[in-house]
């Protein structure tokens, strides 16, 4: 299985806050419209807290979580900057999230569709 949007359009980067603004024409302005930025921010804070990491470590946690499932062979993360590429490459070693951390993430399952 090939997984895309593993960072949830930036939601799992730990950088989306209720005050985040997007440039004119950026689809994320509608994707994270209304209370969505606040909701994403609060959920990311809780996940990071449960994992014992800072929000800035969320991209690595998210990119390691996805290939932890045995059906996943490839993760295609988005990249907007050279720094994003460097960080994504650093976790491209195929190592998944440890089982104890997966157990901490599972209760955070969130069924929603921001694409509507």
pLDDT 10s digits, 87-98: 888 888 878 899
Give the model's pLDDT for residue 2: 93
Give percent of the chain above pLDDT 90: 65
Residue with tokens 């104890």: 100
Give the model's pLDDT for residue 93: 86
pLDDT tens digits along 71-111: 998 888 888 889 888 988 888 887 889 999 999 999 998 87
Domain extent listing, the chain: 2-108
Cα of 61 vs its chain's centroid, Å: 8
Give the model's pLDDT for residue 116: 61
CA distance 38 to 35: 5
What are the backbone angles phi and psi of residue 37, rounded to the nearest 5°? -60, -45
What are the backbone angles phi and psi of residue 110, rounded to the nearest 5°? -135, 110
């Amino acid at each position: 299985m090939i997984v895309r949007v593993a960072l949830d359009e930036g939601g799992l980067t730990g950088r989306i806050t209720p005050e985040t603004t997007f440039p004119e024409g950026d689809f994320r302005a509608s994707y994270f419209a209304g209370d969505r930025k606040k909701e994403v921010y609060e959920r990311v804070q809780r996940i990071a807290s449960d994992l014992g990491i800072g929000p800035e470590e969320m991209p690595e946690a998210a990119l390691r979580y996805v290939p932890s499932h045995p059906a996943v062979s490839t993760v295609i993360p988005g990249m907007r900057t050279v720094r994003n590429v460097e960080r994504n490459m650093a976790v491209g070693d195929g190592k998944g999230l440890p089982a104890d951390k997966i157990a901490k993430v599972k209760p955070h399952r969130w069924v929603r569709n921001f694409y509507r």
